[in-house]
Amino acid sequence: MDNVQTGMPLLGDRMPEFTIQTTHGMKSFPKDYSGKWIVLFSHPGDFTPVCTTEFVAFAKREAEFKKLNAELVGLSIDQVFSHIKWVEWIEEKLNVKIPFPIIADDTGNIAKKLGMLHPGKGANTVRAVFIMDPNGIIRLIIYYPQEIGRQVDEVLRALKAMQVADANKVAMPENWPNNELLKDKVIVPPAKDMDTAMKRKGEKDSYDWWFVYKSL
């Protein structure tokens, strides 16, 4: 395998373009989602307990992602028939409808392009999350091992924080909007020259010239 196939994309890279079968028909990425944020997440396999709990959590929060102009898309290297049967099982047994498409990457080509296959874990995809902005640029990547289920609220929080940061040209503190120091305040970009740094010294909403915050 060459490096292009197996290399993991970096933050700021454009999502590779591909057309693939999903449970909602053929989809072209990221073209079919132009103008929207995309949350693409992979799971090791259908009919597995941890993955099932994650899909239930994503499904229950789909409306919150849509409020942020974001679309959810799942992926594993199972065939589409397996995806369909698993989605049917979740609805029948757990009373939860999976409203988003699941990519059937049965050749593994997409997983290879996105670095979702771990050499020590066989053919199963890891628990990866890619968030792409409306221009198809990868803005966030989170990887979990197969044994650890994701915290879906954290994915939602990170998406919301990124959008607020973009809109206001600010940085977001740990666990925004519930940071222990700043609560829901945001961080002003650090001063880049001496004059600005000195003006910021002693400002009310600051700890120092390099640590200034504000309310939105």
Compute the average pLDDT of residues 109-129. Answer: 80
Q: Are residues 36 and 113 in the same domain?
A: yes
Contact between 114 and 142 under an 8 Å Cβ cutoff? The reply is: no
pLDDT of residue 123: 67
Q: Out of 57-61, 120-124, 174-178, which region has the weakest mean confidence (pLDDT)?
A: 120-124
Asked whether residue 164 is assigned to any structural domain, the reply reads: no
pLDDT of residue 120: 64
List active site positions: 51
Q: Which residue matches tokens 């009310």?
A: 204
Q: Are residues 10 and 87 in the same domain?
A: yes
Among 123, 150, 177, where does a domain finish?
A: 150
Is residue 64 scored above 80 in pLDDT? yes
Compute the average pLDDT of residues 165-194. Answer: 96
Asked whether residue 160 is assigned to any structural domain, the reply reads: no
Pairing of strands 127-132, 25-29: unpaired
pLDDT of residue 89: 98
Contact between 121 and 56 under an 8 Å Cβ cutoff? The reply is: no
Contact between 58 and 75 under an 8 Å Cβ cutoff? The reply is: no
Is residue 3 scored above 60 in pLDDT? no
Among 119, 150, 181, where does a domain finish?
A: 150
- The alpha carbon of residue 213 and the mean position of all alpha carbons in its chain are separated, in whole angstroms, by 26
Number of domains the chain contains: 2
Enclosing domain of residue 22: 3-150
Q: Are residues 181 and 109 in the same domain?
A: no
The CATH number assigned to the domain holding 208 equals 3.30.1020.10
Across all residues in the chain, what is the average pLDDT? Answer: 92
The CATH number assigned to the domain holding 59 equals 3.40.30.10
Q: Compute the radius of gyration of the chain from its Cα atoms.
A: 20
Q: How many whole angstroms separate alpha carbon 138 and alpha carbon 132?
A: 4
Q: How many whole angstroms separate alpha carbon 188 and alpha carbon 203?
A: 12
**Structure token pair of residue 31:** 């073209």
Is residue 4 scored above 60 in pLDDT? no
